[in-house]
Amino acid sequence: MTDKIKVGDYLIIQRQKYTKLQKFNNLNTTVNLGKDQIELRLAENHPYCTTFHLVPKQERGRRLYTLDALSTPSEIRNLKELLIKESGNDNRNIIDDRQSQALSTEEILKLREECESSSEVIGKLVENSKSFATKTEYSQEKYLKRKEKKYFEYITIRRPSIRLLTDIYWRLDPEKVLGVRFDTLSQLISYSGVCSVGNYLLYESGTNGLLPAAMLNSIGAETGGKLVHLHPGNVAQKQALFAMDYPTEQQARCVSVNIYSVLRHFYQDREGAKENEEQEPAVPEAKENETLEPVVAKTEDSTDGKRAEEVNGTSKRKHEETQDGTAEEEPEAKQLKVDKQKQAWELENEAAASIMREKFDSLVIVAKEHPYSILKALLPFVKPSRPVVIFSTCREILTESYVDMKAEASVTYLRVTSNWMRQYQILPNRTHPDVTMSGSSGYLLTGYTIGN
């Protein structure tokens, strides 16, 4: 992990409060921010958190920009100090008749092409506005923020973090992360007790890799912690894991496997081991017969061979061809076939099964399905007195699981909790909760396992 932007990295493109995740595939990669198309070629080898100025390229019909790194972020002008010189007491005399702006749409588009910076465009709009000077200071600030958002010409490229990724995924579509908000994610990590030591078991049915990335982040690099990531599909979702760009040794300690495949592998191995143990006592009794059988077979083969040579020489040649040709080639072909059949997912199943034999220090379930059947299948792999955390957006599902777990008495100290979080706007003389916010980010069922 380097401190400089390089090809192949995932980047967070930030323009004011808007953020977007983008992979820097090659030097010709472009990112779309609204109607603006930005080339990322010149961002290579710059440090993360560098602020770039968008330089327009002269191409008709396209709003294409290249990047120019700023030496200091203070080069971004403060429009409030530049443009707000006088303001009115109230807005009672302002009439919205769509005639307060003297510039036409064509003139504004021409200004955008001629002016070198967005502050010049906004300055011209303020100069030609008939009602700007009579607005209150609060209304003027809102007007400038609205215009700055439209004409802002600076972006910042940041390194992906768990908090930024959670905000981006939640804003785009909460269902793609199963409704896990950043405050709920922090509660999941806290209740599960993930740290640098121990084995941890996670089942999630599609969060773009956000949950395994968050848990692996808590485990840390160059530690002894391991994570088994179970999923219901053929291929695990790992975009957030790739975006975080963890070291190779840290990524190797996260084993992603299909839940049905690894459970089948684990129980088949255990049954095979039991069968081998049962057969071991019968081996010494059969040794005497085994020593006699090869001698008898050899004498019979030698007499049969001599008779065959006396009767017909061709039969010997045919016998040698079959023995030397096909009989020797068949084992080699079978061995190659076995090696080819052992694919990556089988190796991952073996690695996950070996960790499952050691048992886990916590269990986290975030599923679209009803979690109780998954819990029953995975609970035997958790050590006693270890935390169990289940997330769902539906309270009734967790209530059913709560009652069933109480009846079985396999988990104690059961609690169903929900976070109630509100975001506030903190500004002088106008601090209040945000007008639009999410009402709930789901519920958590937590408890601790009981030893048999």
Residue 70 and residue 83 in one domain = no
Is the residue at 335 inside a domain? no
Is the residue at 302 inside a domain? no
Is the residue at 369 inside a domain? yes
**Residue ending a domain, choose from 152, 179, 211:** 152
Is the residue at 246 inside a domain? yes
Residue 85: other Cβ atoms inside 10 A: 9
Mean pLDDT by 10 residues, the chain (452 residues): 87 92 94 90 92 81 84 59 69 75 82 73 82 81 81 90 94 91 93 95 94 96 95 92 94 95 91 74 44 38 44 44 48 54 84 94 95 95 96 94 93 92 83 82 94 70
Residue 95 and residue 228 in one domain = no
Residue 391 and residue 256 in one domain = yes
CA distance 272 to 399: 39
- pTM comes to 0.78
Residue 136 and residue 226 in one domain = no
Residue 71 and residue 172 in one domain = no
Residue 349 and residue 434 in one domain = yes
Residue 353 and residue 427 in one domain = yes
Task: Say what the pLDDT of residue 320 is.
Answer: 46
Task: Say what the pLDDT of residue 25 is.
Answer: 93
Residue 120: other Cβ atoms inside 10 A: 15
Residue 71 and residue 108 in one domain = no
Is the residue at 317 inside a domain? no
Task: Say what the pLDDT of residue 274 is.
Answer: 73
**Residue ending a domain, choose from 105, 129, 152:** 152
Sheet holding 10-15, edge to edge: 18-23, 10-15, 154-158, 50-56, 64-69, 36-39, 30-33
Is the residue at 289 inside a domain? no
CA distance 401 to 403: 5
Is the residue at 407 inside a domain? yes
**Residue ending a domain, choose from 28, 49, 75:** 75
Residue 148 and residue 166 in one domain = no
**Domain residue limits at 183:** 162-265+344-449
What is the number of structural domains in the chain? 3
Is the residue at 41 inside a domain? yes
Nearest to 218 by CA among 240, 201, 197: 197
- One-character DSSP codes across 93-148: T----S-SB-S-HHHHHHHHHH-SSHHHHHHHHHHTBSSTTTS-HHHHHHHHHHHH
